[in-house]
Amino acid sequence: CSFANLPAKLFKSFNLDRPNSNLEAYAKTAILRFIRDKIYQQDIEAKRVKFSEHGLLKDLNNKELQEALASTGLKQPQIDLYRLAWQCFDEIYQVKQTFSSQSLAPPNQEYLKQITSCYNDRLKNLNFSATPVNEEKIKAMLQICTQAARDYRTKNFLPLQDFETMSDSMPTLWDTIVQEEEREQVQLIVSRLFESIPEPGQTMLKLWQGLNLTQTEIATVMKNKYPELQKQYQVNRHLSRYTRNLLRDFVSEWNKINPEFSLNDEKDIARVKESFEECLESHCKRFVYSLIERIIEERSCEEKREKKPILGLYNPKKEVKRSLRDNLNIKLEKLLNIPVNSPILFQDKIANLIEEWLRIKPHKAESGVRENDT
């Protein structure tokens, strides 16, 4: 055995100074481990070559995928979603036996649509706390399953020359996955809890985080309806209380959903606080963006019905923005239940938000905005 010619590496970790050190037992254990890994390596390398990406997914079973995903550091609620995507793939993507696993082609767009529909339907039926996905997300989830499986099938093999450089650090890819999944879960919880905030609190947060108003501007808008919000410091006090209570409720909800990763102290809470604050801002921004999208859709339908440009299929871009701004003012007054003409006080910020939306969602604005400024 070539291993016998590597005594320096064989006994590198053996400590003669440790009490009750047993050189013979150490050597036997090391040699047995080497032989086991050598056999395992040959078997696994054959499997790695044998299967294409989607062929490997077909070769998996539920138990192996569970163990593979768990070995990456993903939490069980996240693992359940990946397993659900794989189950839908395995059931729907049935190929003829003339195709080998080595050359199995990826599912075409029609298959992806069916897999995605299956996933979203089961997501709803199983009451999972996750949002529906599209075909691109399903492809990404299946790729993660594939990589996890490939890594898992070689997890017990570590070449002897790599013993010196073993590391406990998690691969960067999995760090990214965990962060992305954690953020999605934070977003879901924040969106759900936001609806339980009293109306004045929701309005203040939407004006502050969604429209970027200062606390003084918020007081100007809300003071006539809410006597307790006459000054900036009063707005600040209320905003702080609503945000603090929302974070408290968020921590409580998080701990119910993720008992194995509960937030028990200030250090734990600090770990997710940044994501929490970003998701709160994102939720409020989405409120404003959804109004702009609604205006675009309503005006586009009206243009088709009237057979003439209203929002401006062929209007100058400047006129389109003005029309968007005026219509957004009306919707904000109605939905936020704020005094008529209040948005006029912060027209510049509304204009900036429209510009921002046009940059983020140019494809949705394409029918309403043409690059033909006059």
Question: Residues 47-71: pLDDT tens digits?
Answer: 544 566 777 888 888 888 998 898 8
- pLDDT score recorded for residue 158: 42
- C-alpha 50/C-alpha 340 separation (Å) is 69
- pLDDT score recorded for residue 303: 67
- pLDDT score recorded for residue 89: 93
- pLDDT score recorded for residue 260: 64
Higher pLDDT, 243 or 316: 243
Interval 114-143: pLDDT, tens:
999 999 999 888 888 788 899 989 998 998
Higher pLDDT, 113 or 345: 113
Q: Report yes or no: 217 and 211 within 8 Å, Cβ to Cβ.
A: no
Domain ranges across the chain: 2-50, 53-160, 180-365
The phi and psi torsions of 109 (rounded to 5 degrees) equal -65, -35
- C-alpha 179/C-alpha 15 separation (Å) is 40
**Residue 197: is its pLDDT beyond 70?**
yes
Q: Report yes or no: 316 and 372 within 8 Å, Cβ to Cβ.
A: yes
Q: Which of 102, 98, 101 has the alpha carbon at shortest distance from 90?
A: 101
Percent of the chain with pLDDT over 90: 20
* Angle between helix 135-153 and helix 23-50 axes, rounded to 10 deg: 140
- C-alpha 142/C-alpha 313 separation (Å) is 40
- pLDDT score recorded for residue 188: 86
* Angle between helix 347-360 and helix 266-306 axes, rounded to 10 deg: 90
Q: What is the mean pLDDT of residues 38-50?
A: 49
Q: Report yes or no: 163 and 14 within 8 Å, Cβ to Cβ.
A: no
Q: What is the mean pLDDT of residues 10-14?
A: 52
**Residue 215: is its pLDDT beyond 80?**
yes
